[in-house]
Structure 1
Amino acid sequence: MRAVKAVLGLVVIGAAALGGLYLTERLLAAPEPAQAVQGGTAPLRVETIAPRIVTFADAVTAVGTARARQAVDLLAESSGRIRRIAFRPGDRVEAGAVLLELDDRAEQADLRAADATLAEAQAAFDRQQSLNRSGSASDAAYQTARAALLRAEAERDRARIALEDRSLRAPFAGVVGLSDLVEGQVIDTATPIASLDDLSVIEVDFSVSETLLPRLASGQRVELTSAAWPGRVFQGRISRIDSRVDAATRSLALRAEIPNGDRALAGGMFLQARLVLDERQRPAIPENAQTVEGDRVLVMLAEGGAARQVEIVTGQQQDGLVEVVSGLDPSARVIVTNLHRLSDGAAIEAVAQEHRVDAAPAPVQAPAPASGSGG
């Protein structure tokens, strides 16, 4: 009796298993309710975008060092005791401004003596000139008086220069650096006084590979960034291209100029330079809108309620955008969703999504063909 019950149990279990398999196959084979409509399949809803014109650029990156357009270490023209320091470190001064005055009492006296000697020589010369014209004096006496006058004028000029050298003036407009001098200190012509930098324009020196020589020209745009100013891009232009290639590094030195009216940059700063070699306006689409099959790049377009597959030629790729070189009409609508469910000619319901592709706020950078470093 137990054996009969066991056999009946196995038969019931087997029947249940077969029934489950049958129902599973029927369910998998049934069409999806959303797709089953009278007369065929419902169009697939997709989102589309229009290609947007974006500025793409070929660029090369390098590291450079900033320097003031004009910079000098100030030294006195003569030795002596400091009478007055007319600047404070960090001051901006104009060209010709007095920065330092030395004790000039002796030079003032020498100038007064030279003026007196010149006055005597001038009076003697005037007398001899008058006598020479009337024939009462010889030419020799006239020439002697004239030579004495010239010597007196030279001595007066020498005394005036010596007096001027007791003051130090700014050779150009700029910002004065730090100084350790104090009034009353005795200095000589080798004593450093301060530095003077013209920071209105900053120059940045950097180097690029010699292979870029045919593509270089004065005036090319340079974008510079500094760790001191995160997120800020300084715009400059190439002002100088070296006439020689460095034989050791096979690189060419360049110099860029950057307006620096707010004095954000200072000499000696380390900067990252991006030299723009070429810029162009091209259509751009999202990277996820393309399909790569071997060496072919394909996109799906929405045309008249159907999907159409076209082949395009692409260029640079960065920041989620792909440059379209050819094969895509600017007025085309590119499908960006449900691509895995589409085939060429499939019925679609297209919905525009203009916000999916926006023009890049800055030029897209190509992979750098070469890089270098500046000193």
Structure 2
Amino acid sequence: MRAVKAVLGLVVVLAAGMGGLYLTERLLAASGPAPAAQGAAAPLRVETVAPEIVTFADAVTAVGTARAWRAVDLASESSGRISRIAFRPGDRVEKGAVLVELDSRAEAADLKAADATLAEAQAAFDRQQSLNRSGSASDAAYQTARAALLRAEAERDRALVALEDRSLRAPFAGIVGLSDLVEGQVIDTTTPIATLDDLSVIEVDFGVPEILLPRLERGQRVELTSAAWPGRVFMGEISRIDSRVDAATRSLALRAEIGNDDRALAGGMFLQVRLVLGERQRPAVPENALTVEGDRTLVMLAEGGTARQVDIATGQQRNGLVEVVSGLSPSARVIVTNLHRVSDGAAVEAVAQERRVDAAPPGPEGGG
């Protein structure tokens, strides 16, 4: 009985083995090599771009303070009581415009007296001059009359200046600042009246490291930005270069001038300064086309249906583009898509990438 069971068990094991071998052969046959009609894998479709010529600049940034081209703290030449204030804070005034008048009755009277004295001296001189020509008067009397006339003219000029000093006039055209004066107030020569700023041109003072001294020259372009005008760039140029380096900071003071016809800038404003030292035009490629491996920067090119990896030297970055210093031909086609699937030597089907222009959102009205 035991022998029969052993024989049956052996038969079952052999049958199971033969069945497994049969199934394995069927599966291998079903997953065998693809038909020869399919051939090799199709080339990978990639988008390419040509290097774009972009202007790059060597620049240094600093912070500066704005100041009016001409600015003065107004004060009176004489003391007295204010009889008239002829301006309002914030007014634009022309050169020579009267701003403040002081009580001038005494000075006007002195001028009249000086005019009378001058008239008498002039008449006396005319008589002596006539007598001297006819020989009826001595030279001494003539010289005395002439000296009296000169003294009378000087006194008259002094009285006229004293009267003019009772009026404060604008030394140049500009904007008048705030004032606390009131009519009837008594002031002296130390009393601050107001400020006067010529804002047609703004000057900006800033400093740069002394190492840049050989590269500095008047007329270099300066770009300035202010928190008061987000997104706006003010253009100016270097107008002054200091003759000394600050021993404490080792920096050199510069002054730039900016046209300010629209009065957007005011004295005392804080500005970010970008001084352009030089410009150059170089090819540039999109930042996403670069691969960095250690100290190597690589790009993948499409050449005759094949991908080729090349080393390049890069420079500055601007608006998503990276400057290519060397290693790339202007006619190269740089692969910018499917880079994670492309390898050096792989077959590719290259198509030119369409440029995508994103419309900028409309800026706020005004403010440039």
Following superposition of structure 1 onto structure 2, how do residues 279-358 of structure 1 map, counting pairs within 5 Å?
279-355=279-355
The equivalent residue for 1:208 is 208
2:90 matched to 1:90? yes
Q: CA deviation at 1:302?
A: 2.1
Change (3 A) 1:136 1:193: same
Following superposition of structure 1 onto structure 2, how do residues 94-243 of structure 1 map, counting pairs within 5 Å?
94-243=94-243
Q: CA deviation at 1:30?
A: 7.6
Q: How many residue pairs are counted as aligned between the two chains? A: 341
The equivalent residue for 2:79 is 79
Q: CA deviation at 1:39?
A: 3.4
Aligned with 2:87: secondary structure? coil
Amino acid at match of 1:340: H
Tell me the distance in 2 between the aligned counterparts of 1:356 and 1:335: 16
The equivalent residue for 1:373 is none
Aligned with 1:355: secondary structure? coil
Tell me the distance in 2 between the aligned counterparts of 1:357 and 1:302: 24
Q: CA deviation at 1:347?
A: 2.1
Tell me the distance in 2 between the aligned counterparts of 1:249 and 1:303: 54
Amino acid at match of 2:299: V
Q: CA deviation at 1:351?
A: 1.6
Measured against aligned partners, the alpha-carbon deviations of 1:199-220 in whole angstroms (never above 9, x if no partner) come to 1111111111111111111111
Measured against aligned partners, the alpha-carbon deviations of 1:108-164 in whole angstroms (never above 9, x if no partner) come to 111111111111111110110010011100000000000000000001100110111
Following superposition of structure 1 onto structure 2, how do residues 21-100 of structure 1 map, counting pairs within 5 Å?
38-100=38-100
Tell me the distance in 2 between the aligned counterparts of 1:357 and 1:48: 17
Q: CA deviation at 1:23?
A: 7.6
Q: CA deviation at 1:67?
A: 0.8
Aligned with 1:261: secondary structure? coil
Aligned with 2:355: secondary structure? helix
The structure whose RCO (Cα within 8 Å, separation 6+) is larger is 1
Q: CA deviation at 1:182?
A: 0.8
% same residue: 83
Amino acid at match of 2:297: V
Amino acid at match of 2:51: P
Whether the aligned pair in 2 keeps the contact of 1:208 and 1:253 (CA below 8 Å) is yes
Q: CA deviation at 1:324?
A: 0.7
Tell me the distance in 1 between the aligned counterparts of 2:161 and 2:37: 105
The equivalent residue for 1:371 is none
Aligned with 2:159: secondary structure? helix
Aligned with 1:341: secondary structure? coil
Aligned with 1:268: secondary structure? coil
2:230 matched to 1:258? no
Aligned with 1:192: secondary structure? coil
Larger-Rg structure = 2
Measured against aligned partners, the alpha-carbon deviations of 1:197-249 in whole angstroms (never above 9, x if no partner) come to 11111111111111111111111111111111111111111111111111111
Amino acid at match of 1:243: S
Q: CA deviation at 1:308?
A: 2.9
Measured against aligned partners, the alpha-carbon deviations of 1:150-201 in whole angstroms (never above 9, x if no partner) come to 0000011001101110110101111000001111111111111000011111
Tell me the distance in 1 between the aligned counterparts of 2:52 and 2:155: 78
Change (3 A) 1:180 1:298: same
Tell me the distance in 1 between the aligned counterparts of 2:33 and 2:229: 63
Change (3 A) 1:208 1:30: farther
